[in-house]
Amino acid sequence: MDKNLLNILVWLLFLGGLFGMVMGIVKFFSGGTPAEYGVMGIGGGFYLLSSAVVMFIRRRTGSS
């Protein structure tokens, strides 16, 4: 795959995951329900996991 595309995917997924996790933490401390902050935290976790998978693919394909 193209090196630039993989870099964009890593950053997009990583920043999306951080945003989801931060929003979940803010909702947790501002008194949200477990469903609200749980969904945001789990969604952010999936974004971060996807970012790690793309990093793994980038490393395996030899793109740096």
At residue 30, the pLDDT reads 92
Q: Which of 16, 2, 17 is nearest to 57 (CA)?
A: 2
**The pLDDT of residue 48:** 92
Give residue 22's domain range.
Answer: 3-60
Regions of the chain where pLDDT drops below 70: 1, 63-64
Domain count, the chain: 1
The predicted pLDDT at position 52 comes to 92
Residue 63 pLDDT: 54
Based on the number of CB atoms within 10 Å of its own CB, is 31 exposed (0-12), middle (13-18) or buried (19 or more)?
A: exposed
